[in-house]
Homo-oligomer: A and B are copies of this chain.
Amino acid sequence: MAIDPKLNAIEFARNQKTTFLNSLKEFVAIPSISTNAENKEDMWVAAKWLSNKLTEIGIENVKIMPTDGHPVVYGDWLHAPGKPVVLMYGHYDVQPVDPIELWDSQPFEPMVNGDYLMGRGTSDMKGQVMASVHAIHSIMQSGSFPVNLKFLYEGEEEIGSPSMQKWIGDNTAMLKADFCLNPDAGMLDKNTPTLTKGLRGLVYFELKVFGPSADMHSGMAGGIIHNPAQAIAELISQMHDADGKVTLPGFYDSVYQMTAAERREFAQLPHDEVFFKKVSGVEHLWGEKEFIPAERLGARPTLEINGLVSGFTGEGQKTVLPAWAMAKISCRLVPDQDPDVVHQQMLQFLTEKAPNTIRWELRKLSGSPASVVREGQPGLKEMSDALVSMWGKEPVFPREGGSIPIVGYMQKMLGIGSVLTGFGLPDDNLHAPNERLHLPTWYKGIEALIHFFNNF
Answer yes or no: A48 CB below 8 A from chain B CBs: no
- What are the residues of chain B within 8 A of A314 when measuring CB–CB? 35-36, 96, 98, 307
Answer yes or no: A282 CB below 8 A from chain B CBs: yes
Closest to A38 in B: B315
Answer yes or no: A169 CB below 8 A from chain B CBs: no
Answer yes or no: A366 CB below 8 A from chain B CBs: yes
Answer yes or no: A285 CB below 8 A from chain B CBs: yes
Answer yes or no: A415 CB below 8 A from chain B CBs: no
Interface set, chain A 238-269, CB cutoff 8 A to B: 238-240, 244
Interface set, chain A 349-404, CB cutoff 8 A to B: 355-358, 365-366, 400-403
**A280 touching B216 by the CB < 8 A rule?**
yes
- What are the residues of chain B within 8 A of A95 when measuring CB–CB? 318
- What are the residues of chain B within 8 A of A321 when measuring CB–CB? 304, 306
Answer yes or no: A444 CB below 8 A from chain B CBs: no
A331 nearest CB across to chain B (Å): 9
Most chain-B CB neighbours within 10 Å: which of A36, A280, A283? A280
**B312 touching A317 by the CB < 8 A rule?**
no
Q: Tell me how many residues of A have a C-beta within 8 Å of chain B.
A: 102
- What are the residues of chain B within 8 A of A285 when measuring CB–CB? 224-226, 357
- What are the residues of chain B within 8 A of A114 when measuring CB–CB? none
The segment from A16-24, A52-60, A286-294, A340-348 that touches chain B is: A286-294
**A313 touching B309 by the CB < 8 A rule?**
yes
Interface set, chain A 69-119, CB cutoff 8 A to B: 95-96, 98-99, 102
- What are the residues of chain B within 8 A of A434 when measuring CB–CB? 214
**A226 touching B98 by the CB < 8 A rule?**
no
List 7 A–B pairs whose Cβ atoms lie within 8 Å, in order of A's numbering. Answer: A35-B316, A96-B312, A211-B280, A219-B332, A230-B305, A317-B330, A318-B328
Q: Which chain A residues have a beta carbon within 8 Å of chain B's beta carbons?
A: 34-37, 95-96, 98-99, 102, 158-160, 200, 202, 204, 211-227, 229-230, 232-234, 236-240, 244, 276, 279-288, 293, 296-297, 300, 302-322, 325-328, 330, 332, 355-358, 365-366, 400-403, 426, 429-434
